[in-house]
Structure 1
Amino acid sequence: MKNLIKQYLDSRISRRQLLSGLGTLGVTAAAANSMAQSLAPFLPAAAADASADASSASRSIKGTGGALLVAQLKASGIEHIFFNPSSGAAPFFDALVDESGMHLIKALQEGALVAMADGYAKASGKTPFVICARPGFPNSMTQLYNVWKDEIPMVVAVDYVNRATLGEDGFEDADHLESIAHPITKWNWVAQSAEKIPEVTRRAFKFASTMPSGPVFLAYPEDILDDEAQAAVIDQAKFAVSMKVRPDPDLVEKAARMLLEAQSPLLYVGDEVARCGAQKDVVELAELLGVPVTRDGGTIGWSKSFPTQHPLYLGAALREMRYPAHVDVTLNLGSRLSYGERIQPGIKLIQVRMDPTNLARTAPTDVAIFGDLKFTTADLVAALRSMATADRLRQISQDRTAKTHEYTATMRKFRESLGRETWNHSPVSFERLGMELESALDKDACVIAESDSGRKMEDFMSFGGSDKQYFTTTGAALGWGLPAAFGVKLAHPDLQVVSVVGDGAFLFAGPQPLWSYARYKAPVTLIVCNNRSYNNERNRIWNVGGRQFQTGRDMTCYLGDPDIDYAKLASGFGVEGEIVAEPAQLKPALERAKRATADGRPYLLDVHIERNGIGAASTWHPPYSVADLRTRKV
């Protein structure tokens, strides 16, 4: 109790925290209030003012820079701190010892650390805080690149060299460390004094979360984290900027008229649809006009923003769309639309984005609308209903919908046929894996995917709408999926979470995230698609017909010899797992994984899966032995 009272008198904890702490010690509420009142005369004036007005959005705090940082993070709504330890940030971690409202989430490698926070941000919609040691920060760059590509809000911080020795090339000293982060962050800054820590931290969260959102970088010199100062800690809500912007009504009317007059329109959907919560509105718009729906192909899109089993959904766009054959108007809702060649000359293009920097960035655009996707889609629907009678809209929708239904039904039958054909393939086919997962997963499950070859699996699963959630990264820097699934589970502890990663992606993550799964008892099913190859990378290399293709020699992509046992690897980190070598073993293995996660434990499946494409059968790799170089046996 003495320590608790000392913290209160030193303004290191608030009146509310004092009362909570006294309650934990068994002091009654009445007695705790009386004790707090008796201590009021001994409080510093600023702290007394803050205590007297507990509901105020701003209060003055006295303490170390580390304590000020903790106080501001709490005011910014941070519940989890994603970290790897740093001696320079010791005052910050010291301030957390008596802070019960925040939870430390440790990763053993900085890239995995950022990917964990990325998964959490995508699933929760919140802006996470990440902190690591300055020499370890460059380790985070590949995953920070993914965050930047996906425009995910995140604050990434490091301890910085003591200002008195900065530039002397001393221990862990690097000139202009913040410049490393510059190309892939929205903003970067080095705090200049302890009293400025709350202010620059608030600004970092404001910049990260304001659309177009993205990561920011902050550095806190270790001396200012230890300095004593007094500063205002202010609720982050006082700096929030609403981005729910209504679109220009004239542009909405122009776009609606173009859609109404179109003979063969096409609708692209992107991540901003999910981010703005506009999925239902987009379905309503598509059904109103019977417009077929697609999304950018390749790695463009980290979510599924339209129900994938909807009869109007065509799947990912191809460079040459077979259906519809003659598009005259394309409406892009929240997609990067990065392949300009898909918008052929003569096709009218309407684009709606929340990111003005990428609006009309590549493809010539007839109508460019800046606005919230939910508002804009609802306004388009209202404009269309005002321009045409219900009978006319019904007739337009019925004619188009019938044709699209016929096409998507044909494609669905083709996929079902392919699924039957590959059902008993050994090693397991991606088609079989997709069908087994579709049967095994809860309807509201979260699937985190990082398998280039595994996109075929997704064709046999349903996502979007009231169905399963889907998460990936558009950056394609491998090593994301395994740690990101941890962050998704942290955001949604009551939802079933499954990670599906290729063996190449797993190895880029390293096994380190498994430790975090075991330490924090994160019940996630971890599936490694083990085909001992960078399968799609080999396909792309061989597809151009070079010497590797001509000779049948895979110089770069075979991952066998030695064959890695991922279940045994997981066991070394305290995660139970098993090998699935045959297709008949898959269903019971998924059931065991489901029981394990229901019991609160992570579970890994090392699924031996088929290679496919050009050169899939090749296991040749360049022979070389360092041992053979020896002239003596040492």
Structure 2
Amino acid sequence: MNDAGDEGVDEHEDTGSEQRRDPTDPEETVVAADRLLQSLRAYGVEYVFANLGTDHTPLLEAAARLRAADAGDSYPTVLSCPHEFVAMSAAHGYAAATGDPQAVLVHVDVGTQNLGAAMHNAHRAAVPVFVISGLAPITETGYPGSRDHAVHYAQDVFDQPGIVREYCRWTSEYQSPADPATYVRRGLERANAAHPGPVYLTASREALELPVTPSASLSRGPRRTTPSGADRATVETLAERVAAAERPVVVTTDFGTEPSEERVETLVAFAEAAGAGVVEHGPTALNFPRNHPLHVGYEPTELFDDADLLLLVDVDVPWVPANGRPNEGTEVVQIDPDPTKATYPHWSYDVDLTVGADARRTLDAVTALLDPTDGEEGRTHWERVHERAAAQRADELAAAREADGISPVELSAAVGDAIDSETVLVEGAVTSRTSVLDHVERTKPGSYVARGGAGLGWAGGASVGIKLARPDSRVVSLVGDGSYLFSNPVAHAWLAAEYDAPTLTVVYNNARWNAVRSATAAQHPDGDAVADGVPESEFGTPLDLSVPARAAGLHTQRVEEEAELADALAEAVDAVDGGKPAVVDVRIR
């Protein structure tokens, strides 16, 4: 048995050394690891956000071979990420800014588990990310990459992809002697399918060390699915129903997630022609300019008494039934490429007309059939609603400034004053989110990004990924104190400093889990927990949240007084504009 194993080593090592003469020559066999890296780059992946382990030695050696062959530009730039959650969040941010999936490299089952909430976020936000994970070696001896440490036994599990399968559009294991490029191309196709999201590929050390014969073309990239608009008859039906409505309302979450001004322009043109108010319910992007007179807020249930037609456009959760339901007789129309929401176990909204089609193309076609004079009543009505909301926000800010301490409203308004319309705002403020949406005005496509899922801590890594994707843009993330702690703050601070991706993080520090306190008060308003002040939600020991960033040499400040706020934010913005990442920890009431 041992002799046969030794012969196996000689055979594979001889074959491997022969092909290493030129890892870039398509006429020769190449090591699978070389081919994997080359295909990622050829198919458009700029970065591999990597948290490395012992299972990645073939890829590290492959990168060295390519550099030695003066082919360093034939594989993606590898960025070392001190934590997997930050790596996945950074890739998410990059893809959200560009539409192009990037790669994440993690270590066997434990690294996959550390992706955790970040994988959930990309899944729910429908953001494409290509995740690659090593496997425990499958052989004990006889092959390059065979087990050589006790940990390789501990890391061997029955179904590693099962950890994340529910969150992925595709999972697979690379198996030699197949061309790795075929797996990369298939994974990227599935990541960018009609309902985008993460994909997950595993590979053992032995498989990545073996020679393969290239079969896939690197010049012909993965297919991208382009959903079509509705057919002519459906478009005409939609136009008739919109024209018949006096006060239509569009409810959307991620119509603007595709990084294109055209989508926002489409929604503006439709709303103006139809006389429709636009509600962004839990937005993950800027879908509609928030200073536009037809923007009518973020809570659709507040408009149900006024609306006579609801158009659900690219939205997973159009409203929360516990907060209200549409009035009897209000027609509900859904336009969505994924109308049945297959990734949701429960989706029980009543819809009168479902259109499974690309919303932008469909709304463009409907707008072309509308007579703008038909929407006059709706435009007048929703403009008044917009004006009333603006007046209420002004009153809210004035009242906040009269009270002691810094409120979330004051902090958000100060952030709005400190940045310009081109700044990319990365939002993870949780219970302070309403203040951000209301008081940090966003008008430009791509100027607002939110996580889309429930995994807190996303904004730190995501802001670095967005900065890498848009190096000429200022990137500012707004986070709660709990979210900041979840973000692995040292890891994302180091990532920003190491790879010249300066971002500003502003922490809304209320020294508690406010979401926990609020939920308890909502469910048991007269309960004992509320009477006690929900002490379990409090951070009893004061935390200086600027400290973690100092470990990476960032610009840091703490703010406890209103008089300090504007200057602190201005200094931090200047630091970031000058190339130095910054964190401002603001104590709010």
Q: Who is 2:234 aligned against?
A: 251
Contact 2:517 2:534 in 1 (8 A): yes
Q: Who is 2:534 aligned against?
A: 554
- 1:386-426 per-residue CA deviation (whole Å, 9 max, x = no partner) reads xxxxxxx32x3333222222222122111111111212544
- Superposition pairs of residues 276-287 of structure 1, within 5 angstroms: 277-287=262-272
- 1:369-396 per-residue CA deviation (whole Å, 9 max, x = no partner) reads 22222211110011224xxxxxxx32x3
Which stretch has the larger CA shift, 144-153 or 540-549? Answer: 540-549
**1:340 Cα deviation from its structure 2 partner:** 6.8
Q: Who is 2:116 aligned against?
A: 141
Larger radius of gyration, structure 1 or 2? 1
**1:161 Cα deviation from its structure 2 partner:** 2.0
Across the aligned residues of Structure 1 and Structure 2, the Cα RMSD in angstroms comes to: 2.4
**Structure 1 position 302 matched with structure 2 position 280:** no
Q: Who is 2:305 aligned against?
A: 325
Contact 2:49 2:81 in 1 (8 A): yes
| 1:315 aligned partner, one-letter code | G
**1:94 Cα deviation from its structure 2 partner:** 1.9
- Superposition pairs of residues 91-110 of structure 1, within 5 angstroms: 91-97=58-64, 98=67, 99-101=71-73, 102-110=76-84
CA gap of 1:400–1:246, structure 2 versus 1, over 3 A, is closer
Q: Who is 1:613 aligned against?
A: none
Contact 2:421 2:442 in 1 (8 A): no
Q: Who is 2:6 aligned against?
A: none
Contact 1:424 1:583 in 2 (8 A): no
The CA distance in 2 between the partners of 1:234 and 1:559, in whole Å, is 56
- 1:479-506 per-residue CA deviation (whole Å, 9 max, x = no partner) reads 1111111111111110110011100001
CA gap of 1:236–1:243, structure 2 versus 1, over 3 A, is farther
Name the TM-score, length of structure 2 as normaliser: 0.88
| 2:365 pairs with one of 376, 379, 385 | 379
Which stretch has the larger CA shift, 580-589 or 566-575? Answer: 566-575
Which stretch has the larger CA shift, 188-197 or 338-347? Answer: 338-347
Q: Who is 1:38 aligned against?
A: none
CA gap of 1:487–1:550, structure 2 versus 1, over 3 A, is closer
CA gap of 1:232–1:574, structure 2 versus 1, over 3 A, is farther
- 1:32-51 per-residue CA deviation (whole Å, 9 max, x = no partner) reads xxxxxxxxxxxxxx52xxxx
Contact 2:43 2:222 in 1 (8 A): no
CA gap of 1:424–1:227, structure 2 versus 1, over 3 A, is farther
CA gap of 1:164–1:357, structure 2 versus 1, over 3 A, is farther
Contact 1:194 1:225 in 2 (8 A): no
| 1:568 aligned partner, one-letter code | V
SS in 2 for 1:453: helix
The CA distance in 2 between the partners of 1:344 and 1:164, in whole Å, is 64
The CA distance in 1 between the partners of 2:238 and 2:387, in whole Å, is 30
Q: Who is 1:620 aligned against?
A: none
Q: Who is 1:311 aligned against?
A: 293
| 2:265 aligned partner, one-letter code | K
SS in 2 for 1:566: coil
**1:183 Cα deviation from its structure 2 partner:** 1.5
The CA distance in 2 between the partners of 1:304 and 1:217, in whole Å, is 29
Contact 1:349 1:365 in 2 (8 A): yes
- 1:418-475 per-residue CA deviation (whole Å, 9 max, x = no partner) reads 11121254432112122222221121110011111222132012224x3661111121
**Structure 1 position 150 matched with structure 2 position 125:** yes
Q: Who is 2:583 aligned against?
A: 604
The CA distance in 2 between the partners of 1:250 and 1:422, in whole Å, is 52
The CA distance in 2 between the partners of 1:419 and 1:293, in whole Å, is 23
Contact 2:466 2:475 in 1 (8 A): yes
| 2:237 aligned partner, one-letter code | K
**Structure 1 position 13 matched with structure 2 position 43:** no
**1:104 Cα deviation from its structure 2 partner:** 1.6
| 1:290 aligned partner, one-letter code | G
**Structure 1 position 571 matched with structure 2 position 550:** yes
| 2:369 aligned partner, one-letter code | A
The CA distance in 1 between the partners of 2:500 and 2:558, in whole Å, is 21
Q: Who is 2:511 aligned against?
A: 532
Structure 1 stretches lacking a partner, 5+ long = 1-5, 15-45, 48-60, 386-392, 611-634
**1:141 Cα deviation from its structure 2 partner:** 1.4
Name the TM-score, length of structure 1 as normaliser: 0.82
Contact 2:248 2:378 in 1 (8 A): no
- 1:559-599 per-residue CA deviation (whole Å, 9 max, x = no partner) reads 131x1112222112322201011111111111111221122
| 1:131 pairs with one of 87, 94, 105 | 105
| 1:487 pairs with one of 465, 481, 496 | 465
SS in 1 for 2:153: coil
SS in 2 for 1:454: helix
**1:83 Cα deviation from its structure 2 partner:** 0.5
Counting aligned pairs with the same residue, the percent is: 23
Q: Who is 2:184 aligned against?
A: 201
**1:69 Cα deviation from its structure 2 partner:** 0.5
After TM superposition, where is structure 1 displaced by more than 6 Å over at least 4 residues in a row? 6-9, 166-169
Q: Who is 2:157 aligned against?
A: 174
The CA distance in 2 between the partners of 1:334 and 1:315, in whole Å, is 17
- 1:590-625 per-residue CA deviation (whole Å, 9 max, x = no partner) reads 111122112211011011112xxxxxxxxxxxxxxx
- 1:324-346 per-residue CA deviation (whole Å, 9 max, x = no partner) reads 62422111221124437434432
Which stretch has the larger CA shift, 536-545 or 338-347? Answer: 338-347
Contact 1:449 1:470 in 2 (8 A): yes
The CA distance in 1 between the partners of 2:586 and 2:404, in whole Å, is 11
The CA distance in 2 between the partners of 1:452 and 1:587, in whole Å, is 22
Structure 2 stretches lacking a partner, 5+ long = 1-16, 141-145
**1:259 Cα deviation from its structure 2 partner:** 0.9
| 1:13 aligned partner, one-letter code | T
Contact 2:179 2:215 in 1 (8 A): no
SS in 2 for 1:513: helix
Q: Who is 2:12 aligned against?
A: none
Contact 1:451 1:502 in 2 (8 A): yes
Q: Who is 1:68 aligned against?
A: 35
| 2:193 pairs with one of 199, 207, 210 | 210
SS in 2 for 1:284: helix
Contact 1:75 1:233 in 2 (8 A): no
